[in-house]
């Protein structure tokens, strides 16, 4: 572990900032037409730096001020934003306000630095959450105030460039997709091979042949569906391609199913020989690719049509380009049938119009397309590597900053120890002022009836007489709908203890966990 600068000190978050835990107001005060304060409930409202208001609250319970750090404390734990105006916060958030002279931006960057660690601290299998008491005890690093400002300024500058780089990289997949679409469009329109025709071919061969997909099939095989019912998975069975395997001009074997040899033999017309054009006609439409020689003996499901191409009439790879082109896809969309589950009838697919140049030109077009696609693939590999490196930049820069290595230390800066001592003095004065003139009271222990008992959950389940969801059990056990994170944590501890002792059991129903008594 690298040694921190001698002027830095470690402290608790509660010593350096005011922490306000969120609390959800009564739902009758919610609205979506801008009345009251913006109401933020959790990570779902966050943007890159500032949250986006979707709901407002006319009578807020807990309020964050403009500039406060909003920290998600419930599922997920750790993400942060800055409040850009006064707002109401629900129990999924806490508002953190640095005590001067701690830099608010410095504290925000530090919390983003420890976000992966915070994400692991959420307690409970039912509610992943952290409490206010936990937040106040989080260890933080305090640099001298001048250095805090330099660190925050440097991080703002660097991370803004990282964000811009990420934004630009995010455009690359769409650009590559548009490039490939443009290549295919140029290929089937004749523009891609225009110079080839003028230099190599004679004028007599310039007019393309107009035909249909059915006319390009072999004499012994026709366009047909694949296996109707795949049945159970066979570990060493015949590979069977489905729509998820046939993508736009490529085939993937991820998630491919295997069927019995007996079932495959019942559909001999769709047992692949290699070089067939495969077209998705159900479910995920738009997929079209050529079966490779290595796929000989494989089969396809009923969602995939097999087009057995007569190679004397057409090059299979060119035909796949023709079907994949926007003009053909638009034609096929016009003949789709169905509402909930759309598809293309085989008769309609067979009637798809096709314009064919000569076999020689088809081969040249395929060669040029493959060359351009290979170039795009190289760009895509560079993009993937760059995206990975940029993704790792932010945590690396933050780690460097909070090792004290991002900016230089200034011997004239007030030390972190002096800063912490000042904060403790301010805090002590605030406590003294708050209690001045008030009589000292001995803290009395809670009566048994006033404390939460494990029996509360048991009694709640017994009274309900049926399994309850976690939220329903929370309310039935006597916790109000706006319970804070500490109360929820107490509830979770009780529930986990009862689960461990076998008093309560958990069962899964759909997407929800239900809890019931085992007695």
Beta strands in 77-198 (DSSP E): 77-82, 87-89, 93-98, 139-142
Rounded to 10 deg, the angle between the 145-169 and 104-113 helix axes is 60
CB 374 within 8 A of CB 382: no
pLDDT per residue as tens digits for the range 72-89: 999 899 999 999 999 999
Rounded Cα distance, 265 and 497, in Å: 57
Domain boundaries, given as residue ranges, for the chain: 9-144+409-435, 209-356, 454-517
Which residues make Cβ contacts (< 8 Å) with residue 423, sequence separation at least 6? 11, 15, 16, 99, 102
Cα–Cα distance list, 379 to 87, 140, 321, 470 (Å): 45, 42, 21, 49
Query: Which segment of 110-119, 444-453, 476-485 scores lowest on mean pLDDT?
Result: 444-453
For 168-188, give one letter per residue: b (16+ CB within 10 A) or e: ebeebeeebeeebeebbbbbb
pLDDT of the residue at 507: 81
For 65-89, give one letter per residue: b (16+ CB within 10 A) or e: eebbbbbbbbeebbbbbbbeeebbb
CATH topology of domain 454-517: Arc Repressor Mutant, subunit A (1.10.10)
pLDDT of the residue at 37: 96
CA angle 496, 501, 503 (to 5 degrees): 90
* pTM exceeds 0.75 for this model: no
CATH topology identical between 209-356 and 454-517: no
DSSP state of 121: -
Beta strands in 422-485 (DSSP E): 468-469
pLDDT per residue as tens digits for the range 387-420: 999 999 999 999 999 999 999 999 888 888 888 8
Rounded Cα distance, 24 and 177, in Å: 45
pLDDT of the residue at 2: 61
Rounded Cα distance, 304 and 300, in Å: 6
10 Å Cβ neighbour count for 495?
Answer: 23
CATH topology of domain 9-144+409-435: Adenine-n6-DNA-methyltransferase TaqI; Chain A, domain 2 (3.90.220)
Is the pLDDT at 314 greater than 50? The verdict is yes
10 Å Cβ neighbour count for 127?
Answer: 18
Q: For the residues 350-371, what does the mean pLDDT come to?
A: 96
Q: Does domain 209-356 have CATH number 3.40.640.10?
A: no
């Amino acid at each position: 572990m690298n040694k921190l600068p001698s002027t830095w000190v470690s402290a608790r978050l509660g010593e350096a900032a005011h922490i306000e835990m969120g609390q959800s107001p009564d739902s009758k005060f919610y609205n979506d037409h801008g009345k009251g304060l913006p109401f933020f409930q959790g990570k779902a409202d966050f943007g890159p730096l500032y949250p986006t208001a979707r709901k407002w609250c006319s009578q807020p319970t807990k309020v964050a001020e403009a500039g406060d750090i909003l920290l998600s404390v419930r599922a997920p734990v750790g993400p942060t934003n800055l409040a850009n105006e006064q707002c109401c916060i629900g129990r999924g958030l806490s508002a953190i306000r640095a005590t001067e002279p701690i830099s608010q931006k410095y504290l925000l960057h530090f919390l983003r630095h420890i976000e992966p660690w915070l994400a692991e601290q959420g307690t409970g299998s039912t509610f992943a959450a952290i409490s206010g008491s936990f937040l106040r005890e989080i260890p933080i690093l305090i640099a001298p105030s001048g250095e805090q400002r330099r660190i925050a300024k440097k991080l703002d500058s660097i991370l803004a460039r990282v964000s811009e780089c990420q934004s630009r990289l995010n455009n690359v997949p769409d650009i590559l997709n548009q490039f490939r679409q443009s290549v295919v469009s140029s290929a089937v329109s004749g523009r891609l091979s225009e110079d080839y025709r003028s230099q190599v071919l004679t004028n007599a061969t310039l007019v393309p042949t107009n035909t249909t997909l059915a006319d390009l099939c072999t004499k012994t095989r026709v366009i047909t569906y694949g296996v109707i019912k795949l049945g159970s998975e066979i570990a060493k069975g015949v590979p069977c391609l489905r729509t998820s395997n046939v993508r736009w001009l490529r085939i993937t074997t991820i998630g491919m199913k295997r069927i019995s040899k007996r079932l495959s033999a019942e559909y001999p017309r769709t047992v692949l020989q290699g070089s067939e054009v495969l077209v998705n006609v159900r479910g995920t439409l738009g997929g079209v690719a050529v079966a490779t020689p290595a796929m000989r003996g494989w089969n396809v499901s009923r969602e995939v049509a097999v087009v057995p191409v007569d190679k004397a009439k057409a090059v299979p790879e060119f035909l796949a380009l023709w079907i994949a082109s926007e003009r053909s896809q638009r034609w096929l969309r016009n003949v789709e049938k169905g509402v909930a589950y759309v598809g293309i009838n085989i008769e309609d697919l067979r009637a798809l119009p096709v314009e064919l140049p000569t076999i020689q030109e088809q081969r040249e077009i395929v060669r040029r397309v493959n060359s351009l696609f290979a170039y795009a693939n190289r760009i895509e590999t560079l993009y993937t590597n760059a995206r990975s490196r940029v993704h790792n930049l932010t945590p690396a820069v933050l780690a460097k900053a909070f090792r004290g290595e991002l900016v230089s230390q200034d011997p004239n800066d007030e030390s972190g120890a002096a800063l912490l001592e000042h904060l403790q003095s301010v805090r002590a004065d605030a406590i003294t002022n708050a209690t001045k003139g008030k009589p000292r009271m001995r803290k009395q222990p809670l009566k048994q009836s006033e404390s939460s008992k494990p029996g509360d959950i048991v009694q709640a389940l017994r009274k309900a007489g049926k399994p309850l969801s976690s939220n329903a059990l929370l309310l039935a056990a006597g916790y109000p709908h706006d319970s804070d994170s500490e109360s929820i944590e107490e509830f979770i501890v009780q529930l986990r203890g009862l689960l461990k002792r076998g008093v309560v059991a958990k069962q899964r129903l759909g997407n929800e966990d239900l809890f019931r008594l085992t007695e």
